[in-house]
Structure 1
C-alpha cells in the first residue's frame, strides 16, 4: 500500500486514510527513522496488589505469576497454538480480549505497521473514547481485579451494577473527548519477592480509571509495536510464552553457541529514562495527544505510606515506569527493542540474544562472550541503564550450567545413546518455591479450614506451577513434586482428623486423588506436550 493511497505526510505526500478505518482513526503519518486465617491486613493488601497487576500486563516474574493459580485462558496457549501469528494480519488470539470491531481496528493497524516499518501513526487518541474499546478495556481490568488506587475506588463497584458501569464509561469517554482526563498519582505498595521475606518488590497501583485508559491505549498501540518487536523477545506478547524462549536457547546451544552471557539489569523498570523512552514512542506515534498522555502516565507522582507513622508522602517520578501499570510492560519491551535487533541482526559475531522482559541471555561461539558482555555494558550505559556486575556472569556451558526463567540448563550425556544433549528441568529454586507455597497452605494454622477448600488451593498452586514448567526433561522432577504434595497433604489430614497409627494407611493415593480430588501431575515428558 503506497503513501498516495494511505495518506499522511509520507514520502508520496498524498492525503487520505488507511482502508477500513474510521475518520478518527490513525491514517498514517510522516515517515521517520487468597489469604488464610490469621493473615495480616498488610499481607492481604499486598495480595490484592499482585492480583491487580494482572497476568497479561504485569512485570512480575513469570514463574511467580503462574504458580499462584490456574492458567488463565489466552495467557499461555497450548504448544500447538503457541507459534507467532502470520505477518499478514493481527492474530485472533489477542493479548486483551476485544470485540469484533476493535479486532478489525487492531488488524488494520498491525498490517499497516508491518508493511511500512517507518510509518508514523496519528489520530490514535480519537480511538480511546470509543465505547466498545473502553468497554473491552474495563472488562480486562475487572477480570484482573486488584486493590484500589489513591482514590479508594473499587473495581467491583463497576462489576456489580450495569447501570453504574454504563454511566461511568460515558463519563470517562466524555473526559477523554474533551481532554479533561488527567492521570492520578500512583499508589506504591511493597510485596515480598520470596516466602522467606528477605527482599521486597515495589508495585505501583494506578486508579481504576487510569487502568482502564491504559488498557485502552494498549489495545491501540500494541499491534503497532508488535509489528516491530523482534522474534527473540517473549514477555508480555500475544501467543508467546517462556517455553518458546527456552526452545530458542536450546536451538542456539545445539548450534555451537556454548558461551552464555547471563545478564541482569539493575532495577530496569525503575530506571528507564522518560525522555529517551518517549523518543522511542515517537518513532511510531506522531499523535501529540497520545504522546502527552503517555508522558503524563510516566510523570505521575508516587504516593507512598510511611509504615511507621502511617503518613502519606508524595514522591516525584523522574524516571522509570512503575511495575503494576497496565502499559508499563509494553513500554519496557519497546525500550529494549533496539537492543534485540542490534545483537541478533547487526552484530558481526552473529550471537543469539533471548529476552524475557529484563531477563536476557546472549549465546555466542567460544571466545566471543567476554567481548559481547563489554559491548552490552556500553550499550546499556549509553541509554542510562545499568548492568548488575555482581549477578551478570559469563558461563561456558561445556563446563557448568546456568538458570533462565526458572529452568536449569546444562549439557548431559544420555545413558541410552551416550550422546550429549541439552538437559532442561525446573531449577532447585523454582522447586523450593512450590514446596514453600504448599507448606504455607497445608500448615498447622490452617487445620481448622475445610479440607476441600485447602486441597482446592493446593490444586491451583500445583496446576499453575506444572503448566509453567511442563517442558523439557521435567518427568522426574514432577514425580518428586507429586510425592512431596501427597506426603504433605497426608500428614495434614492425619493431624486434622487425629488419626491413630492404625489409620495412617487410610489416606491412600486413590483416596487422595478420588475422594479428595487432589490433582494428578502430568506423567509425560515436557518435550512431548
Structure 2
C-alpha cells in the first residue's frame, strides 16, 4: 500500500486494475510446474507438489480429479501462485511500469488514460498466451485509483495521497461485529470478549496502514455501543421507550458497562 501511495503521489493518476478470473481454479498445472522446475531440482519435491495439485476435490462425497487450479486455502497455494506470477512481475519490470501486486491482485499505475487502455489490452493478451490465465473483463478496469480498492484499502487524493480503509471493508467489519455480538448468541461477557479480541487484533494488524485516525475512533465508539446490551437491561433504564441502540448511550448503561470494564477484560481498540 505504501508503494501504491507513492506511485499515485508521483503523478501516476490512472490505474489498470487487473482481476484474474477464478485464478486459483484456473492455474495451468504444466505451466506452473515448468516455472517450479527452474527453481527446484529435487525430483521428490517436484513429485510431491504435482500430487498436491492433482489431489482432486470432494464433490457430493466423491473425489473428482482436477487438471487445473490449486487448492484454495491450501498452505502451498499462495506460494505456488507467487511462483507463477513472478513472470508477470518480471514482464512489468521489463516494460518499465509502476505496479503493485498482492497475490493475484495487480494494479499498474500510469499517467494517462490512453496509456492505461493500451496496457490493459497488452497484458490481457500476454497473460492469456504466456501463463494461460484469463483476465476478468467485468471486474478489471481502467480508472482513477481513488475509485478502486486494493486490497481492502482505498485512496483519497488531495494535496497529499491518503491510504484509508475502504467502505466495503468497513461494511464487512460491522457485519462481523454484529454477528459476534448478537443478542441471541448466548455467549457470556468473557466469551464475547475473547472472540472480539481475536478478531479485532487481526483486523487492526491488517489495517495498520490506515491514515484516517478519526475512522478508528468512530469504530471504537461503535464497537462499545455494539457490545450486547440486552433488551431487559435496556428496559430497566428509566422505563425508556427508545430502541436498544440509543439506550446503549445512556448514562445508566455507561455506569453499568463502563469502557474500563472491557479494558480489564482485554478487549483491544482498533
Could you say whether these structures have the same fold, taking a TM-score greater than 0.5 normalized by the shorter chain as the test?
yes
Structure number with greater CO (CA < 8 Å, separation at least 6) is 2
Match among 226, 238, 242 for residue 502 of structure 1: 238
Q: Tell me, what secondary structure is at the counterpart of 1:508?
A: helix
More helix by share: 2
Per-residue deviation, 1:330: 0.9
For residues 152 and 232 of structure 2, the distance between their equivalents in structure 1, rounded to whole angstroms, comes to 34
Identify the residue that residue 183 of structure 2 maps to in structure 1.
444
In the aligned structure 2, how far is the partner of 1:284 from the partner of 1:251?
32
Question: Counterparts in 2 of 1:254-273, with a 5 A limit?
Answer: 254-273=9-28
Deviations 1:100-148 (A, max 9, x none): xxxxxxxxxxxxxxxxxxxxxxxxxxxxxxxxxxxxxxxxxxxxxxxxx
1:326 aligns with 2:72: no
Q: Offset at 1:520?
A: 4.9
The 2-side partners of 1:474 and 1:462 are apart by 17
**259 and 510 in structure 1: CA distance in 2 versus 1, 3 angstrom threshold:** farther
Displacement of 1:441 after TM fit? 1.5
> Which residue of structure 2 lines up, in the alignment, with residue 372 of structure 1?
119
Which of 33, 39, 56 lines up with 1:278 in the alignment? 33
Q: Which runs of 5+ in 2 are unaligned?
A: 240-249
Which residue does the alignment assign to 1:363? 109
Q: Tell me, yes or no, if the aligned pair for 2:183 and 2:230 is still in contact at 8 Å.
A: no
1:277/1:493 CA distance change after superposition, 3 Å: same
User: 1:275: how far off?
Assistant: 0.7
Which residue of the other structure, out of 157, 166, 182, is the alignment partner of 1:427?
166
> Aligned ranges for residues 387-426 of structure 1 at < 5 Å?
387-397=135-145, 400-412=146-158, 420-426=159-165
Q: How far has the Cα of 1:509 moved from its partner?
A: 7.9
Provide the aligned C-alpha RMSD in A: 2.1
Matches within 5 A, 1:477-516: 477-489=215-227, 492-495=228-231, 497=233, 499-502=235-238, 504-508=250-254, 511-516=257-262
Secondary structure of the residue aligned to 2:211 is coil
Residue-by-residue CA offset, 1:325-354 (whole Å, 9 max, x unaligned): 22111111100001101102x10xx22121
Residues 455 and 292 (structure 1 numbering): CA distance in 2 closer, same or farther, change over 3 Å?
Answer: closer
Compute the TM-score of the two structures, normalised by the length of structure 1.
0.46
Q: TM-score, normalised by structure 2?
A: 0.87
Offset at residue 322 of structure 1 (A)? 0.7
Query: 2:200, 2:268 within 8 Å by CA — same for their partners in 1?
Result: no
Secondary structure of the residue that 1:445 maps to in structure 2?
coil
Residue 247 of structure 1 is matched in structure 2 by: 2
Distance in 1 between residues matched to 2:258 and 2:197, nearest whole Å: 12
Conserved in 2, the CA contact under 8 Å of 1:401 and 1:411?
Answer: no
